[in-house]
Amino acid sequence: MKKVTRLISLMLIILILGGTAAYAASENKQSVSGDIYVPVKLACEAMGGQVSWDGKKQITTVKLGSNELKLFVNRCDIILNGKAKVLKEKVKVEEGRTILPLSVLNSQLGLKLTCDDYIKLISMKFIGMVKAGKTADASFLLSKSFSKYATTEFINSALAPAFSVIEPDVKTMTLAKNTVHQNVFIPFTIQTAKYNFIMRFDYNGKIDEFNQAADSSQFTYSKPSYDNSANILKKEVAIGEGEWKLPGTLTMPKGKGPFPAIILVHGSGPNDRDETLGPLKPFRDLAVGLASQGVAVLRYEKRTLEYGVRIQSLPKLTMTEEFEEDAFAAANYLKTIDGIDASNITVLGHSEGGYDLPRILGTDKTGTFKAGIIMSGCSRPLYELLPEQYKYLAGLGMATEEQAEAAKAQAALIQDKSFNPENPPKGYSLGTPYYFYDMKNYDVIGMAGQIEKPVLVLQGERDYQVSTKTDYEGWKKAFEGKSNAEFKLYPKLNHMYMEGEGQSTPAEYYVKGNVPQYIINDIAAFIKK
């Protein structure tokens, strides 16, 4: 089991071999008609055809059923069943492989292969190629920007071993699309636990990312009572550009506006735009609730979710890449939208997003944000919280004292004055050292104290992940003597802003619930004030 778990984890991590992964511009391999180019040999052989190549004459010949198609490289003329025809676009060669618009193969050979069919076909073929050790063929199916990260070394040392011990069920794969990617979910099982291997395709038909996630089909979200679709509008959007473009949702009040707006910044981990956890979707609750009260809300997939392999490959990853760049990209998008009051944009950070909020506001030199909301944000580095969280869970029988001590030892290594991210100390294993080195040098209390913009600090009193006594009081100390900060403590709420009684446990996160109406009211009142 340990071996399997380690291999699955490797599927999410780029192995940096011989250098740093580079940023690359977005590519466009679509035909002029908006079609996608596909490798002729792969597509036709998958449909039962035969494909041959005459290197001397530069001719690809396809035999499928009763049809014979001859393709001439870098030419528009073709021969179908002995008759000459002229295409609108030239036959192309990419990395030694003949490629052609999918619509041409369909029209000339009667394939009737939709883009969705092709993507599912490529998903199956890719897994088969990796298993068979055909790394070069598998790499050809990757987008150019992604191939900078998903190198042949990664495929051989991470994906191939993983596929040797798990069996993705390609027969039951499903497809879901957003504004950036077409996502194929392929189920697999480890003992009794169900997961999905996720292949993200760009809209040129190339594999653009990998990820894996636990199967969440057993959880059902319940809409809150304040979700009034008659009063709001929802639009699927994309924020940012290039290889870090993110899909998101803009929820707007109905009417002319201009409306104040808020951007929702996630907590730690690979969160989706709703901050989904089991049956809970607190960011979705906030979006529909605030939009019903006249506030536009922009939320988006977190970079660590949409680009899991790429983000893990950055050797000097910090909160700047994880949170800040995308928060500003979201604000820049809002400024282009009719009906948004560009002078009244608030940024809300939950959990680690709240911890980073002083840095977001502190680096805002152009007045992008009017105000900020810290929603159960820690006021100290994450590595200081981990030992406390493990100790709390140990008291519930859900962790061990040894785990708590191990987390404490990791924190001590980072806190040591000699900690060097270029050469981490022996025994360090917490993650990318630059990430925590950056966090160590972030004076969150000092930077918060320099904020002049209005700030609202929210905290659930039953939160065991972020301490009321230490973190909430830390924010009070940071803003001591200042009139720009407001504080609200909610006795019944946990870290996900769900009500409960008594001692909070992780089991609460898997019980249906919604963010209470009074939280919506307090946030809306702060924004409008």
Residue 220 lies in a domain: no
Q: In 8-91, where do the E strands start and end? A: 37-39, 50-54, 59-64, 67-72, 77-80, 83-86
Our count of domains for the chain comes to 3
Integer Rg of the chain from CA: 26
- 102-128 pLDDT, tens per residue? 999 999 998 888 999 999 999 999 999
For residues 372 and 410, membership in a common domain is answered with no
Residue 2 pLDDT class (50, 70, 90 cuts): very low
Assigned token pair, 166: 């798990």
For residues 373 and 409, membership in a common domain is answered with no
For residues 266 and 370, membership in a common domain is answered with yes
Assigned token pair, 188: 């697999």
Residue 58 lies in a domain: no
- Is the pLDDT at 212 greater than 60, yes or no? yes
Residue type, 330: A
Assigned token pair, 81: 């069943």
For residues 403 and 341, membership in a common domain is answered with no
Q: Any catalytic annotation for residue 35? A: no
How does 486-517 read in b/e, with b if 16+ C-beta sit within 10 Å?
Answer: beeebeebbbbbbbeeeebeeebbeeebbbbe
Residue tagged active-site, from 181, 266, 350, 495: 495
Report d(CA 41, CA 48) in Å as an integer.
Answer: 11
Residue with tokens 């290197």: 55
Measured at the alpha carbon of residue 152, what is the angle toward residues 146 and 154, in degrees to the nearest 5?
75
Residues 6+ apart with CB under 8 A from 56: none
CB-based burial label for 54 (10 Å; 0-12, 13-18, 19+): exposed
Q: Please state the pTM of the whole predicted model.
A: 0.91
- 39-76 pLDDT, tens per residue? 999 999 988 999 999 999 999 999 999 999 999 999 99
Peptide bond into 258 cis (omega under 30): yes
For residues 313 and 373, membership in a common domain is answered with yes
CA nearest 246: which of 294, 304, 295, 207? 304
Q: Any catalytic annotation for residue 463? A: yes
Residues 6+ apart with CB under 8 A from 469: none
Q: Pick from 187, 214, 241: which residue ends a domain?
A: 214
Residue type, 381: P
Residue 74 lies in a domain: no
Q: Pick from 157, 186, 214: which residue ends a domain?
A: 214
For residues 10 and 144, membership in a common domain is answered with yes
Assigned token pair, 165: 């011990």
Report d(CA 491, CA 459) in Å as an integer.
Answer: 9
- 12-41 pLDDT, tens per residue? 332 222 222 222 223 333 333 348 999 999
**DSSP helix/strand/coil, 33:** coil
Residue 81 lies in a domain: no
For residues 167 and 292, membership in a common domain is answered with no
The CATH number that applies at residue 450 is: 3.40.50.1820
For residues 355 and 454, membership in a common domain is answered with yes
- 140-183 pLDDT, tens per residue? 999 999 999 999 999 999 999 999 999 999 999 999 999 999 99
For residues 389 and 371, membership in a common domain is answered with no
For residues 269 and 144, membership in a common domain is answered with no
Residue type, 357: L
Residue tagged active-site, from 123, 143, 147, 351: 351
Residue tagged active-site, from 463, 467, 471, 504: 463
Find the helix packing angle between 401-415 and 433-440, rounded to 10°. Answer: 70
Q: Taking all residues of the chain, what is their mean pLDDT, rounded to a whole number? A: 91
How many residues are recorded in the chain?
529
For residues 276 and 319, membership in a common domain is answered with yes
Residue 337 lies in a domain: yes
* Residues 129 and 120: beta-carbon distance below 8 Å: no
Q: How many CB atoms lie within 10 A of CB 5?
A: 11
For residues 203 and 325, membership in a common domain is answered with no
Task: List alpha helices for 396-511, DSSP H.
Answer: 401-415, 433-440, 444-449, 473-478
Residue 487 pLDDT class (50, 70, 90 cuts): very high
Q: What is the pLDDT of residue 293?
A: 97
Assigned token pair, 32: 């002029």
Q: Any catalytic annotation for residue 266? A: no
Q: Pick from 168, 185, 214: which residue ends a domain?
A: 214
Structural domain including 399 reads 382-441
Residue type, 341: D
**DSSP helix/strand/coil, 415:** helix
